[in-house]
Structure 1
Amino acid sequence: MATQPLPTFKTARRSRFALRWYTWLLLLAAIAYGIAFAMHWDDRGVLWVKERFKSPAERQASVWLPDYRAVIDGKLLPGMEKDEASDLAYDPQTKTLFSVMGKNPFLVELNLQGDVLRKMPLVGWSNPEGVTVLGNGLLAIVDERSHLITIVKVDADTRELNIDNFTKYDLGPSKDQNKAFEGVTWDSQNQQLLLGEERPPALFAWKGDGRVLTGDKLKLASHALDMRNLSALAIDPRTGHMLVLSADSHLLMELDKKGEQVSFIALLGGFNGLKDTIPRAEGVTMDEAGNLYMVSEPNLFYRFEKKK
């Protein structure tokens, strides 16, 4: 009876080499899947496919983020390298932007080109992470560490703000006290503040008249928040759609009035006119013309415009 030849040294070495490569391929595949799962790339893929089937009329009735391109790409905000820009809000009355600095508490006014007009120390704030414009010179500032929202008055002569001089509201406990309320925007159409918890991402609404808040905040459905964290919120004044920013996911997402996903852009280098990835996008806002503005830690400014 014929016998099988014993494997040679070369054959065994090739087998071990093939097994080693196979193991490495499995490991790389597992790592790639883990990253894709953590970044919600599978959800982005589904939304990207859905975007392809949107009609021109549907796109026209939305913000439609895929059409935006960066026209100011990472402009430095001078003298704020150690302050950490945390949010951004547009004031339609002054045609300027307001940003809060989280590490060293400041309120900063910028023009629409990202030039600093003035810096106002925020006395008594611990870690301001959110700001929104209510109108008539009123702004709401969220302090993530102390779980407070404060309504302040800012006019042309304001040079400093002291928290003891203004009305404060307790935001209450969060699931993760260290990753609490960070996003805030004023929804003028529905007369309410919209609030966002950083992690796990969640949305809340708090009724008010632009001067005072009434009742208590109510939790909203957050099933569409397929992102690792929530950094900031904004409302498009034209459509009423919500913009949700995630620094960890390098993502800006558009939700309609029902809270459903409409469109998105990846804040990565090579996409939408960005030369480099936005390192940590922490603030977003939009003006009445539909121009988008963002700030990133530590002190970077971005402006996006919709291509014609």
Structure 2
Amino acid sequence: MRSFLTPRQLAAAFSLLILGLLVTAAQQFRLFERGWFVLQEWRHAAEWRDRSIWLPDYRVAIEARPIEGLDDVSALTYDPDRHSLFTVTNQHSELIELSLDGHIIRRITLVGFGDPEAIEYISPGMYVITDERLQRLIKVKLDENTRSIDASQAQQLSLGIGLSGNKGFEGLAYDTAGQRLFVAKERDPMRIYEIHGFPHTNPEKPIAVHVVDDPKRDARLFLRDLSSLQYDDRSGHLLALSDESRLVLELNAEGRPISSLSLLRGMQGLRKSVPQAEGVAMDNDGNLYLVSEPNLFYVFRKQTD
């Protein structure tokens, strides 16, 4: 005898299916962890605000300004000596210097870099650029007269860590006091590595490179990917930018998330969501700069009471 589900049973089965899909989506997008973090951020605001960057206090000052002449910006770093910003383009292999309001100052041709994806200021005239797919870190030098840089003439470090196609080294940050280079692997798996000994800055000492990672810390990052990093020398905290999560996350010295800046419409004064955030940088005054593909420029400033 054929049996049929009653309307009530069908409704119950459908409700369970929808509930299962919602739970799966929540797990995939780390919504439970993110919700718990928002609660903790609110509870500890008074305790953490004065000894952190404290991203909730930031509001957008320049929103989605097109960088004329560019169409594939990737990464961002602040040069405290020149008081300017640098980004790279991977389609045309260029190093671009930008003013603090998002205008091109100069363009430098990159030769032999493959897939340049991130750049980080190290010291006056010295930077590190990543080749994402090959997982190369390339130390470069430039001055006022530099018009092109050849990777074959530069100091390099290759790291074959968890190779996964176009999901390689996506972001860089540098701790000047600790001489640590932070390297973000985008995903599959998502990781933040600490590189000690590169770039090699003392020719009188032998090269000794040490790589440190912390899978437990990285598992606490309720982010779907990593696009960029920024280290704050004043607080000792690290900023992690996620394109897919539309979020900038502040990590304390122990690697625990303590504050966040949302890149969604209606948050932080944004009229529209940031479409594809690729790079974040911070200047000496604590202003945040952000670039989004294809060529959008943002500035966030901290609001004071």
C-alpha distance in 1 between matches for 2:297 and 2:14: 41
Question: What is the alpha-carbon distance in structure 1 between the residues aligned to residue 259 and residue 9 of structure 2?
Answer: 43
258, 262, 266: which is aligned to 1:266?
262
C-alpha distance in 2, partners of 1:85/1:290? 22
- Counting only pairs closer than 5 Å after superposition, residues 17-36 of structure 1 correspond to structure 2 as 25-36=15-26
1:58 maps onto 2:48 in alignment: yes
Q: Residue 35 of structure 1 aligns to a residue in which SS?
A: helix
Of residues 256-265 and 164-173 in structure 1, the stretch that sits farther from structure 2 once superposed is 164-173
- Cα RMSD (Å): 2.1
Instruction: State the alpha-carbon separation in 2 of the partners of residues 26 and 175 from structure 1.
Output: 39
Q: 3-state SS of the aligned residue for 2:48?
A: helix
Task: For 1:26 and 1:297, locate their aligned partners in 2 and report how far apart those are by CA, in whole Å.
Answer: 39
Name the CA distance, whole Å, in 2 between partners of 1:63 and 1:198.
23
TM-score by structure 2 length?
A: 0.89
In the other structure, the counterpart of 2:220 is 224
Q: CA deviation at 1:21?
A: 6.2
Q: Within the alignment, does 1:207 sit opposite 2:196 as a pair?
A: yes
**Equivalent pair of 2:66/2:297 in contact (CA under 8 Å):** yes
Residue type of the alignment partner of 1:227: L
Match of 1:198 among 155, 169, 186: 186
Code of the aligned partner of 1:238? R
Any residues of structure 2 matched to 1:1-308 within 5 Å, and which? 16=7, 25-81=15-71, 84-199=72-187, 200-208=189-197, 211-212=200-201, 214-220=208-214, 221-308=217-304
TM-score (norm 1): 0.88
Cα distance in 1 for residues equivalent to 2:135 and 2:300: 31
- Any conservation in 2 of the 1:189–1:240 contact (CA below 8 Å)? no
The one-letter amino acid paired with 1:72 is I
- Unmatched segments (≥5 aa) in structure 1: 1-14
**Structure 2 unaligned runs (5+)?**
1-5, 202-206
How many residue pairs were aligned?
Answer: 292
Q: Distance in 1 between matches of 2:26 and 2:291?
A: 25
Question: Per the alignment, in what secondary structure is the counterpart of residue 222 of structure 1?
Answer: helix
Contact 1:133 1:140 in 2 (8 A): yes
1:96 to partner: Cα distance: 0.3
Runs of 4+ in structure 1 over 6 Å off: 18-21
Mapped partners of 2:208, 2:284: distance in 1: 27
- On the 8 A contact 2:277/2:293 being kept in 1, the answer is yes
Letter in 1 for 2:243: A
List per-residue Cα deviations over 1:78-126 (Å, max 9, x = no partner): 1212xx2110000111110000112221111111111111111211111
In the superposition, relative to structure 1, how do residues 167 and 266 fare at CA in structure 2: closer, same or farther (>3 Å)? Answer: same
Question: Post-superposition shift, 1:173?
Answer: 3.4
CA contact (8 A) 2:85 2:97 kept: yes
Cα separation, 2, equivalents of 1:272 and 1:25: 36
How big is the shift at 1:209?
7.3
What is the Cα deviation at residue 22 of structure 1?
Answer: 5.8
Which stretch shows the higher mean deviation, 129-138 or 160-169? 160-169
